[in-house]
Amino acid sequence: MEKEVLFKQIILVTDGESNGEGDPIEIANMISEQGITISTIGIIGENSSQKSKYEVEQIAKIGRGVCELTELSKLQQTMQMVTQKSIYQTIQTAVNKELKSIINTEVNDLNPNSREKIMDLMDNLSDTINLKCIILLDTSKSMTNKINIAKKSILSLLNILNSREGKSEIAVIAFPHIERENYKLICDFTEDISLLKESLSIITTSGMTPTAEALEGALQILDGKLESCLVL
């Protein structure tokens, strides 16, 4: 049986720092060990704290993903950019590992002419691999005025990703979910824009920001389903 090449990513979208019980950095480490990339997007405004910026940067670092800080109005492009960059980054790391073992060199050490073909190959690969992306959306109280734009941004992200040759699926986890539950899978992996739209419409905002618990939930959801796949 041919194995599909799959890129698994979690994108954390938040406007503040974690104030749940667990430690998000610790969970990020655990997820990263499973070959899943965690990228983060911090929505910043006038009263964003230094601590919240530091936290998203650390999570992405440990998750071997990309971190971007953005204002709300650029959230949409930022989501796509983060996805694209982290795919590139992961492919580049994998290719560098190969090159290192074959000719003991990295892509950056090759001259521009010899690396052009490799770049081409990597660009094509980034387009053809299948993508499973879980968006961890902060739905705490502070997101109230931002949630509609966040929903629209997620929809456009799927629309843009659908232009890829490979399959692109998005799932959405909202955290917290109402008062009691720390997180909830709002939409399971899908390529279908109308299904995603319908699912997103039930999201409301309230409560705290249990980032660690939500990350743990994302891991469980990714873990339960993806065993027959080759992970980059």
Partner 1 sequence: MKYIDVVKGKWNKNIYYVENCIGQGSVGYVYKVVNKRGEKFALKSSEDLISLTKEYKMLNKFSYISAIPKAYELDDGYIQGKNIHFIIMEYIEGISLKKYLLNNISIKKTLSIILIITEIFQQIYDSGYIYWDIKLENILVDRINMSIRVIDFGGVSKIGQSIKEYTPTYNIHCWRDKPYYDDKSLIFSINMILISLLYNKEFNPLTNSIQDIIYKIKTSDFNDGIKKLLINGLIGDYNIEKYKYTVKKIIQKNMFSKSKYCSNWIDALYWGSIGMFIFFIIFTVKMYIFK
Residues 22-81 that bind partner 1 (CB under 8 A): 73, 76-77, 80-81
- The 3-state DSSP composition of the chain as helix, strand, coil percent (nearest 5) reads 50, 20, 30
Q: Which of 194, 201, 227, 228 binds partner 1 (CB under 8 A)?
A: 194
How many Cβ atoms from other residues are within 10 Å of residue 11's Cβ? Answer: 28
Is the separation of the CB atoms in 152 and 102 below 8 Å?
A: no
- In the chain, DSSP assigns E strands to 5-14, 37-43, 64-70, 130-138, 168-175, 184-190, 230-231
Which stretch, 20-28, 51-59, 107-115, 215-223, contacts partner 1 (CB under 8 A)? 107-115
Is the separation of the CB atoms in 40 and 24 below 8 Å?
A: no
Which one-letter amino acid corresponds to residue 153?
S
* Binding letters toward partner 1, positions 112-151, x by CB under 8 A: x--xx--xx-xx--xx---------------------x--
- Minimum CB separation of residue 160 from partner 1 in Å reads 5
Q: With binding defined as CB under 8 A, does residue 226 bind partner 1? A: no
Q: Cβ closer to partner 1: 4 or 71?
A: 71
Residues that bind partner 1 (CB under 8 A): 73, 76-77, 80-81, 84-85, 88, 92, 107-108, 111-112, 115-116, 119-120, 122-123, 126-127, 149, 152-153, 155-156, 159-165, 193-194, 197
